[in-house]
Structure 1
Amino acid sequence: MILSEFDLILSGGQILTLNEQMAVIAEGAVCVDQGKIIFVGATSEVPPGWSFRKRVNLAGKIVMPTFFNSHNHAAMSIFRGLGNDLSLNDWLNHFIWPAERRNISPDTVYLGTMISAMEMIRSGSSIFADMYFFEEDVARACEEIGMRVILGEGILDFPTPNKPSPAEVMNHTRILFDQFRNHPLVSVAVAAHSPYTCSPDIIRLAAELSEELDIPANIHLAESHTEIRTMRERYGKTPTRYLYDLGFLSPRAIAHHGIYLDSEDMDLIMETHTSIATIPNSNMKLGSGICPVSELQKRGINVCLGTDGPASNNNQSMVRDLQQLARIQKVAHNNPTILTATEVIRMATINGAKAYRMNEVLGSVETGKQADLMIINPDQPHWYPRYDTFTTIAYSMQSEDVETVIVNGRIIMENRRFTQIDEEKFLRLIRKLKLKH
């Protein structure tokens, strides 16, 4: 007898829960209703009175939480390949910032975000934290494709493509916060660009806004030798100490990159419960350096993972970034045990949710959480033989193995086809895009 009808059941496959115990269910099921997970366990234990509007047979497949991309400039897909093989400062000053002044508009941000969103979803991401301009158009793209986003309208000392002053950017952040306060997919953060592009007054005001609205605060930190030298020349202190003294570092803060951190810097980050988002692929491409992940972990600092924008990575695959993170840390320390497969997978999932204080609803496959799930098809040569699923993900998996993505209980990609948008429409638009040089 049918007692209850629910939205969706995924059954008969391996479930990687990524809960605190890292439980793996060999022949498992995940049941979903109204966007939330209502059951996780053995398929044989699903209540016999439950029926489902949609059933997905997982035989031979894997379900795990989707990736949480902790740092991005998604619309910069329109600049992919512009100004390669340069240092960060040369790349920004001579290519990116001039190109942004000439080309960034609501329409280019919308298109660039949609292109990146397709790439992220295809590689298993359901959410990203953005820092860019015209963020309402970032939201528009994400709403259409069905992806989550944390909006961050970029704050700098100088005019941006969207606003003429930092004060107006912060006011716009308030407007975005009010607009998306109860949105199922969209939330808002304060996004101060960096210590070297934000004056002390701007940093203080950004920190105060984050505290007042109780929302995350993003910033690039200790990303290059030039940044360290500039901050010492201007203020006689490291960028981390600068932010600490101005009250920016806090449990709400996420510092991106965190490459050049001395022992005192790391102690300040630990003291304030600030999270660090490591960005390995972008840092390698720009020759910026390597984040001291193991030293941060030893202090109990939460480390999460992001791709950065597609103009400096140059792709949006969290699969590639988590694999590069595992490898580069081993090389940096000449120690293959320094970072394990399960640790990097947690950095790509639950640790991102923790950084943005969303771990009660995202980041693992557990009853009561939002149903953000990916189905992986491991029936590929590079998966065999599979002695351990976590190590296979960390060292062998490819983005193309992600078959289906579910966000907020809705299937937004099924068998690698998008269900909410016309992919070809946006590919036609990006093919025709002509940048102003």
Structure 2
Amino acid sequence: MSQPADLLIHARWIVPVEPANVVLEHHAVVVRNGRILAILPQDEARSHYHAPESFELADHVLIPGLINLHAHSAMTLMRGIADDLPLMRWLQEAIWPAESRQVSYAFVRDGTLLAAAEMLRGGITTCNDMYFYPDAAAEAFDQAGMRAVLGITVLEFPTPYAADADDYLRKGLAARGQWHTHPRIDFSFAPHAPYTVSDETLARVASLAAELDTTIHIHLHETLQEIQDSLSRHGVRPLTRLARLGLLGSNLLGVHAVHLDQSDFDLLTLHGCSIAHCPTSNMKLASGIAPVARLREDGITVGLGTDGAASNNRLDLFQEIRHACLLAKVSTLDATAIPAHAAIRMATLDAARALGMGDQLGSIEPGKAADLCAVALDRFETRPCFNPVSHLVYVTGREHVSHVWVGGEIRVNKGNLMLQLNDRELLTLTALWQTKSGS
């Protein structure tokens, strides 16, 4: 007698990520109450389970939902406003002035909703975000049906959102309290960077994060100038400064980590920190190439992020997977530096572990949330297919994503977003904000 389930997904290939380096052929995923109940051969699934919804994906590969480990989602509304500039000119001459004119609750809500739509269509089911008005971002991610970890952003200088570090923390903690029980929305502390946050504030963040058992999400060692400025101002490199202030630990997620010396590797390894690698943004801003192969060799968890649409300019994790692979190979002159399976793991399970969510997300295993992404390999540009994992990294793109589920709920069906807003309404939203910006 068959058992009831909510959803059956039959796929040509399944890449569970855990166990590693495995591809299952002609298997099915069984979902009940938003979680994966079983993974088993299709014939067995049909005989042992029945469900009101069933998907036959005869030419598809099913993978865990992708996890964007670092983004500034609302900055979709700044896409392309300042290209071909190095980081500090990009921030000081373009981004910060634009934010001072435009950023508001509505700006963040609408920009984040647009970002969520873009990410979902590209197979991203979870986003680790850092921006102002996290309560507005939470509203947008909730409407889109995505998972999100929202940073309580902290700076020392005023913005339209907050007046000073105390104000940022007060407002961010209030937003966390408002959304604390939501099943898909979580919060982290997000001091922007060592060069924009004081010792006193960083120490306070470390204390609060320990008290609330929360991730610390911070830009770190992105440029050589950042290192030089820290040595001049503080006498030590940024990571050493953070260590002295008590920020380093298994809950610290450093973003970028492009410029590292032996002391930095030692600190990251000693404290069990994680890294969010954003290869496209690092290339576009000419920040450099992060030593990802070395980080992984040292046992440091590395996940992948897009950064914001103002510095990428796509929220496309398939692009990041490919760029991470290729940059690691060319920078080390080692074609084996990051194999295809490892790259997929960086965008799924490794990212989940960096967020402290490895027991819930990032792989197709019984008991985990049914966050899933199907990629169609039925087009001429994806044929022939000798190795579906190779195709995921070196052939396919976000345009090949056909279906996306979050907690067993379908969010993309045959390439179409299952949102309250349709594509025309989303385009109208972008046009409205472009008019407001005067461009």
TM-score by length of 2: 0.97
Equivalent residue number for residue 18 of structure 1: 17
Q: After TM superposition, where is structure 1 displaced by more than 4 Å over at least 4 residues in a row?
A: none
Q: Distance in 1 between matches of 2:40 and 2:22?
A: 10
Equivalent residue number for residue 67 of structure 2: 68
CA deviation vs aligned residue, 1:33-56 (integer Å, no higher than 9, x gap): 111011111112227353201111
Q: Distance in 2 between matches of 1:387 and 1:40?
A: 23
Q: Aligned pair 1:285/2:279, yes or no?
A: no
Secondary structure of the residue that 2:24 maps to in structure 1?
Answer: strand
Q: Distance in 2 between matches of 1:12 and 1:69?
A: 24
Amino acid at match of 1:207: A
CA deviation vs aligned residue, 1:216-250 (integer Å, no higher than 9, x gap): 11000000111111101100111111111111111
Q: Distance in 2 between matches of 1:412 and 1:297?
A: 33
CA deviation vs aligned residue, 1:371-411 (integer Å, no higher than 9, x gap): 00011110122222212111111111111110010001100
Equivalent residue number for residue 294 of structure 2: 295
Give 1:435 deviation, angstroms.
4.1
Equivalent residue number for residue 205 of structure 2: 206
Equivalent residue number for residue 431 of structure 2: 431
Equivalent residue number for residue 176 of structure 2: 177
CA deviation vs aligned residue, 1:289-319 (integer Å, no higher than 9, x gap): 0101111112111111100000000000000
Between the two proteins, the alignment pairs up a number of residues equal to 436
Q: Distance in 1 between matches of 2:5 and 2:40?
A: 16
Equivalent residue number for residue 83 of structure 2: 84
Moved more, 42-51 or 324-333: 42-51
Amino acid at match of 1:13: R
Q: Distance in 2 between matches of 1:49 and 1:395?
A: 36
CA deviation vs aligned residue, 1:127-169 (integer Å, no higher than 9, x gap): 1100000111111111111111101131011123211121122
Amino acid at match of 2:363: S
Equivalent positions of 1:155-174 (< 5 A) are 155-174=154-173
Moved more, 167-176 or 235-244: 167-176
Aligned partners of 1:63 and 1:373 also within 8 Å: yes
Q: Distance in 2 between matches of 1:412 and 1:336?
A: 36
Q: Distance in 1 between matches of 2:163 and 2:278?
A: 29
Q: Distance in 1 between matches of 2:281 and 2:420?
A: 29
CA deviation vs aligned residue, 1:350-380 (integer Å, no higher than 9, x gap): 0000000101010000100000001111012
Equivalent residue number for residue 323 of structure 1: 322
Q: 1:104 to 1:10 in 2, by over 3 A?
A: same
Q: Distance in 1 between matches of 2:195 and 2:213?
A: 25
Equivalent residue number for residue 39 of structure 2: 40
Q: Aligned pair 1:154/2:140, yes or no?
A: no
Amino acid at match of 1:125: I
Give 1:20 deviation, angstroms.
2.7
Give 1:110 deviation, angstroms.
1.0
Aligned partners of 2:61 and 2:388 also within 8 Å: no
Give 1:432 deviation, angstroms.
2.4
Moved more, 401-410 or 58-67: 58-67
* Identity fraction in percent: 34
Equivalent positions of 1:410-425 (< 5 A) are 410-423=409-422, 424-425=424-425
Secondary structure of the residue that 1:358 maps to in structure 2?
Answer: coil
Q: 1:170 to 1:232 in 2, by over 3 A?
A: same
Q: Distance in 2 between matches of 1:175 and 1:22?
A: 43
Equivalent residue number for residue 135 of structure 1: 134
Equivalent residue number for residue 308 of structure 2: 309
Q: 1:12 to 1:223 in 2, by over 3 A?
A: closer
Q: Distance in 1 between matches of 2:336 and 2:23?
A: 22
Amino acid at match of 1:263: Q
Aligned partners of 1:111 and 1:426 also within 8 Å: no
Equivalent residue number for residue 52 of structure 2: 53
Q: Distance in 1 between matches of 2:81 and 2:11?
A: 46
Aligned partners of 1:37 and 1:367 also within 8 Å: yes
Amino acid at match of 2:177: D
Secondary structure of the residue that 1:295 maps to in structure 2?
Answer: helix
Amino acid at match of 2:114: I
Give 1:173 deviation, angstroms.
2.8
Moved more, 50-59 or 91-100: 50-59
TM-score by length of 1: 0.97
In structure 2, runs of 5+ residues without a counterpart are none
